[in-house]
């Protein structure tokens, strides 16, 4: 396919995505109903998470998956291989992602760095995640992330002035998809008062086999175990409050269908296990704060104050 045809195809896909999302929004706007039932809101308050089925149409999931794979094809893996090889600064992970306001960061599974010829690597089969500002820097993800239905759910859950702060595309590759250790998202993003909430969209079916999310229901009512802080000098440090291990045996799997949304309170402990199955488990995650809270200077991720606000 030549460049002109590829561009035309991309515009068509973006238009299709726009029409699908606009149609969904129209359905919401023209109905007097809330997206969430009172039972769902109570469930979220009690448990710290909520599954909203059929949030995104299958065509929207496919368009986002296709866009993510296009973005991966643009990534410079050789630069990352140098960073991984532990070259002295400026080739360090910190320099790669710290303070990178608008640029996309690409992270690969460990196996990618074991190739003796990095230029021959099949990036599509080894990419782990793309972060942290897809919702700002890519038109497809921006269209999806700023749709009114997201705002409506946030409002219904009590977020009055939501700001999209961070986004991540998670590939969870077949066979080699690595685990994400148990954590609370508010460890990494701080506001005063706390207001972090995560929206995790399953772009493919998520099962125990392919590494679905696991959560600890009700544990969002407990404090943070630790905080990752950036010092005035720009160094990353950890403030530890509680060293007891997570009760992993009490965690429950969230097996969800393609198109489902999982909402998670910033204090909810969650993890995902390795994917050893044949199926990938692709997902898109958004981390959102309330603009009524102060965004603290201890955050590693800079806040672009005017942007990130939902309409
Ligand atoms: O998708 C995963 O495996 C983990 C995602 C996660 O931890 C998050 O969105 O906060």
The three state secondary structure string of 45-106 is: HHHCEEEECCCCCHHHHHHHHHHHHHHHHCCCHHHHHHHHCCCCCCCCHHHHHCCCCCCCEE
Question: What pLDDT is stored for residue 306 in this prediction?
Answer: 40
How many whole angstroms from 272 Cα to the centroid of ligand 1? 7
Question: What pLDDT is stored for residue 204 in this prediction?
Answer: 98
Atom nearest to 179 CA in ligand 1? 3
Nearest CA owner, ligand 1 atom 9: 285
Structure token pair of residue 181: 């250790």
pTM of the model: 0.89
**Ligand 1 pocket: which of 107, 198, 246 to mutate (most atoms <8 Å of CB)?**
198
CB atoms closer than 10 angstroms to residue 103 = 11
How many whole angstroms from 45 Cα to the centroid of ligand 1? 20
Question: What pLDDT is stored for residue 20 in this prediction?
Answer: 66
Query: Angle, to 10 degrees, between the axis of helix 58-73 and the axis of helix 3-29?
Result: 140
How many whole angstroms from 271 Cα to the centroid of ligand 1? 7
Nearest CA owner, ligand 1 atom 8: 285
Tell me the backbone φ, ψ of residue 128, rounded to 5 degrees: -100, -50
How many whole angstroms from 18 Cα to the centroid of ligand 1? 26
Question: What pLDDT is stored for residue 311 in this prediction?
Answer: 46
User: Could you give the 3-state DSSP secondary structure of residue 176?
Assistant: coil
List the one residue out of 62, 57, 75, 183 whose CA is nearest residue 128. Answer: 75
Write the DSSP assignment of 2-57 as a string of letters.
-HHHHHHHHHHHHHHHHHHHHHHHHHHHT--S-SS-HHHHHHHHHHSEEEETT-S-
**Ligand 1 pocket: which of 128, 180, 198, 210 to mutate (most atoms <8 Å of CB)?**
180
**Ligand 1 pocket: which of 178, 200, 201, 261 to mutate (most atoms <8 Å of CB)?**
200
Atom nearest to 185 CA in ligand 1? 10
How many whole angstroms from 15 Cα to the centroid of ligand 1? 29
List the one residue out of 194, 174, 197, 179 whose CA is nearest residue 251. Answer: 179
List, for the chain, all residue ranges whose pLDDT scores fall below the cut of 50: 305-307, 311
How many whole angstroms from 173 Cα to the centroid of ligand 1? 14
How many whole angstroms from 268 Cα to the centroid of ligand 1? 12
Atom nearest to 172 CA in ligand 1? 3
Structure token pair of residue 250: 């009490």
Query: Angle, to 10 degrees, between the axis of helix 148-157 and the axis of helix 3-29?
Result: 40
Atom nearest to 283 CA in ligand 1? 1
Nearest CA owner, ligand 1 atom 7: 271
List the one residue out of 167, 200, 203 whose CA is nearest residue 268. Answer: 200
How many whole angstroms from 179 Cα to the centroid of ligand 1? 10
Question: What pLDDT is stored for residue 217 in this prediction?
Answer: 98
What residues are in contact with ligand 1 under a 6 Å CB criterion?
Answer: 170, 172, 180, 185, 198, 200, 270, 272, 283, 285
List the one residue out of 27, 203, 177, 57 whose CA is nearest residue 109. Answer: 177
Q: Largest Cα–Cα distance in the chain?
A: 59
Domains and CATH numbers, the chain: 36-295 (2.60.120.620)
Question: What pLDDT is stored for residue 305 in this prediction?
Answer: 47
């Amino acid at each position: 396919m030549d460049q002109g045809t590829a561009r035309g195809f991309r515009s068509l896909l973006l238009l299709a995505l726009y029409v699908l999302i606009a149609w969904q929004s129209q359905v919401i706007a023209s109905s007097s109903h809330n997206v969430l039932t009172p039972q769902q809101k109570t469930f979220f308050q009690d448990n710290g998470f909520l599954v909203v089925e059929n949030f995104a149409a299958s065509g929207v999931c496919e368009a986002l998956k296709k866009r993510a794979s296009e973005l991966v094809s643009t990534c410079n893996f050789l630069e990352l291989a140098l960073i991984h090889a532990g070259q002295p600064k400026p080739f360090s992970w910190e320099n790669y992602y710290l303070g990178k306001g608008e640029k996309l960061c690409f992270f690969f599974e460990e196996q990618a760095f074991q190739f003796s010829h990095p230029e021959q690597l099949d990036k599509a089969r080894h990419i782990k995640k793309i972060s942290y500002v897809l919702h700002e820097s890519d038109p497809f993800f921006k269209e999806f992330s700023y749709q009114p239905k997201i705002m409506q759910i946030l409002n219904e859950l009590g977020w009055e002035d939501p700001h999209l702060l961070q986004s991540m595309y998670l590939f969870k590759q077949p066979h080699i998809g690595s685990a994400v250790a148990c954590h609370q998202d508010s460890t990494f993003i701080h506001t005063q008062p706390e207001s972090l909430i995560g929206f995790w969209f399953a772009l493919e079916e998520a099962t125990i086999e392919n590494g679905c999310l696991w959560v600890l229901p009700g544990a969002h009512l407990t404090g943070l175990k630790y905080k990752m802080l950036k010092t005035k000098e720009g160094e990353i440090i950890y403030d530890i409050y509680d060293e007891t291990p997570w009760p992993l045996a009490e965690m429950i799997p969230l097996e969800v269908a393609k198109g489902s949304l999982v909402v998670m309170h910033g204090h909810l402990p969650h993890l995902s296990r390795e994917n050893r199955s044949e199926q990938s488990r692709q997902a898109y995650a958004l981390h959102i704060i309330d603009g009524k809270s102060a965004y603290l200077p201890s955050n590693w991720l800079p806040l672009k104050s005017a942007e990130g606000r939902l309409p």
